Each structure stands twice: as C-alpha cells, then as structure tokens.
Amino acid sequence: MPEDVLPADSPPPEQKAPTLTKAPPSDRKFPCSKCGARLDFDPTSRSLKCPYCGHVEEIKPDKVGVQERDYEEYLSKLAGKRTKLEGRSSQVRCTGCGAVVLLEDKVATDKCPFCGTHLENQPEAAEDMIPPESVLPFRVDIRKAREEFATWIKSRWFAPSALKKMANLGQLSGIYVPYWTYDAMTYTHYTGQRGIDYTDTETYYETDAQGNQVARTRTVVRTMWYPCSGEVQHFFDDVLVCASKSLPDNMVGSLAPWDLKRLVTYKSEYLSGFKTERYAIDLKRGFGIAREIMKEHIHQLCMQDIGGDHQIVNSMQSQYVGVTFKHILLPLWLASYRYYDKVYRVMVNARTGNVVGERPYSWVKITALVLLIVAIVGVIIFLASRH
C-alpha cells in the first residue's frame, strides 16, 4: 500500500525545539583545550568557560555535518603519561590467541588464561601504556566461582559427558580485563518523518454463493506522513568498551551489568596474585566503538522525539562535547578448555557470579532424544488406532 503524502498546500515541515534527554551532573568539569584546566559546563547556554585563562568554547548546533573536538590533539597530550604498571615490568604474547599478558614480577606463568595455549617462557619488557585509573576488585572468590561454574555445566543438557572432565575446575584463572569508559555530552540534529494512523473506509468486491459480484466495505488503517526535524541533547556516562581482543564480543556483553559505581582508585596491590591483560584496543579505536554504541542510543532518542504512531529517521548529525575517558580493570574468573581441538571458554563475573560460556553439543544425546520422542509418538498413534 503506498504511503499517503501531504497535499501541495500543506504546512512546512515541523521544527521541534531542542529536547534535553539527560544532562551531565551540575558539578561536571571538562578539559580546557588551551591550558588543560577543568571547564565549567552549562548545557543550557552550551558554553564552556575556563576559570583560569578565560577561554570560552561556545557550542553551536550544526545541521551540515559532524563536528567534534580534535581527538588526535587530545591523544597527543597523553603521550608523556604512558608508563609501565608497577610490579608488571614484563609481558608475554600468546602464540595461540594473541593476548598480551602482563606478568607479575618474579612470578612465572605457564598457560594462557584465554585459550590454554602453553606460553613460551620468553617474556619481554612491557610496553609503555596509559595506566589504569581505577579497578573493580575481586568479590567472588575461587570457591564460589567453582560452584557457579559447576551449576552452569549441569544445566547444559546436551553437553558431552566428557565436558566436566575436560573443563577442569582447577584451571579457573583470575584475570583483570582492560576496559575503557567514555563520557560525552552529545547534540544531535535530525530530520525525519512522523507517521499518524487514521481509519478509512474502502470498497472491495467478492463473489457471493450465486456467483454474483457484490460490493462490500471495510475499515482500514492508513498512515499520513509528516516531515519534521529537531535536536536531542544527551549526556552519556561511562559508555563501556572492552579493550581486549581475546574474548568473544557476545560473551563479554553478556557479563554485564558491572557495578561501576564501586570502582576504586587503582593500586598495584589489587592485582597481586591475578593475571592482567594489556589493552589491545587503544584509546582512539575504543572511542570509535563507543561512538557506535552512542549512535544506536541516539537513534532511539530521535525516534522518541519524533513521536506519532510511526517514525522514520532520515539523517542524524551529532556533536560530541567534553569527551573524557577512564582506563579501568574489571575482574573475571576464566576457564578455557579444548574439546576436539577447538577452544571453549567459560567466564564468571567476579563481582556478581554471573556465568557466560561456550560449550560443544553432544549429537549422540540429541539423536537419542529425537529417537525417544519419535518412539513415544509412535506408541501414542498405535494405541489411538486400536480404539
């Protein structure tokens, strides 16, 4: 059914007033691009003013293209702040999955926690890195992690019987996984269409019992589309991006939620006795991933702002203002095991005990169940045919 269109003398497209969906905290500060001091931010006036050098950054809505802060310049200012982690002066790269494990000084490691590959005892000097600002300490101990792991395995009906033996619980490793978090105030101008449903009566024809064509009517729902545009303003707080390439994205996402409000200031003591992975996704690439996450949420906000019964977003142009970040470490209990030369992983969120994992399927068990069902159905049909 073609969409209804507005007549030629219809009113011009609606321009909605800006909508603030989430503002930053009142005490939120942003970095001055001139002297590096912290700026006061006012989302109402869209201005950033430095209390020291007087620099003012006025944010104007842009309906032409994407405007953002010079992120390359921002990154270059961090070059001198890269360092090694205290107590982790060496690293080793896994030849199996490519993970870079930061080794605890004077402690040898024999196996990669991500894939179980034997790590060659040839560590190299750890590369300088942006140090973590904060960490979520382990809260679920090894005993509780094993209990959660065992419960998870028992609930997998079609897992091979040998899985429990292959997934040796003694191989659970405690590891800190690197993450980035990004904050940003966003301004997004959008254009789109609002669909409003209305009812209409249409005539149709059908053949009656005598073979005659009979006219009948029915009520149908149609949609009238109206062009509109507007702006949504939203503050993103702690958009989480995993900086590891050693874990499947779908599994990492399923580990949430993380209680990020309980992050504590980083101290090397928290890492003692645990393995730590060096970030494989750098700060710039991490922000690119964060922007895609923000973009998906912004699209939903634009849909809500358009209103009506149906919505179409034709275009979005976003500004990202006052972008800040944190490098954090989150705790996992991780077991990797091989089954017929394929690596499977099970992860336990070391804060909540939530278990996420991969497992093979036993086709013997699946086939046996199918045959059993077929046999039961056959017996039922046989008994029913005798009555």
Q: Would you give per-residue pLDDT tens digits along the chain (387 residues)? A: 345 655 555 667 778 888 888 877 766 655 566 666 555 444 334 455 566 666 676 644 444 332 333 444 556 666 556 777 766 767 777 766 777 887 666 556 567 777 667 666 566 776 778 888 888 988 888 888 888 877 777 765 555 555 555 445 446 788 899 999 998 999 999 999 999 999 999 888 888 888 888 888 999 999 999 999 999 999 999 999 999 988 888 888 889 889 998 888 888 788 877 888 889 999 989 999 999 999 999 999 999 999 999 999 999 999 998 888 888 999 999 887 766 667 778 889 999 989 887 755 544 555 655 666 767 776 677 667 766
341: in domain: yes
67: in domain: yes
Residues in the chain: 387
Element (H, E) at 225: strand 213-242
| Domain extent for 123 | 14-18+61-372
Max Cα-Cα span within the chain: 96
377: in domain: no
Element (H, E) at 373: helix 363-385
347: in domain: yes
pTM equals 0.72
- Residues 284/75, Cβ–Cβ less than 8 Å: yes
pLDDT recorded at residue 167: 47
38: in domain: no
- Residues 83/131, Cβ–Cβ less than 8 Å: yes
Neighbours of 345 (CB within 10 A): 22
144: in domain: yes
- Residues 185/294, Cβ–Cβ less than 8 Å: no
Q: Domains in the chain: how many in total?
A: 1
285: in domain: yes
* Cβ neighbours for 324, distance < 8 A, ≥ 6 positions apart: 30, 31, 182, 183, 184
- Residues 233/186, Cβ–Cβ less than 8 Å: yes
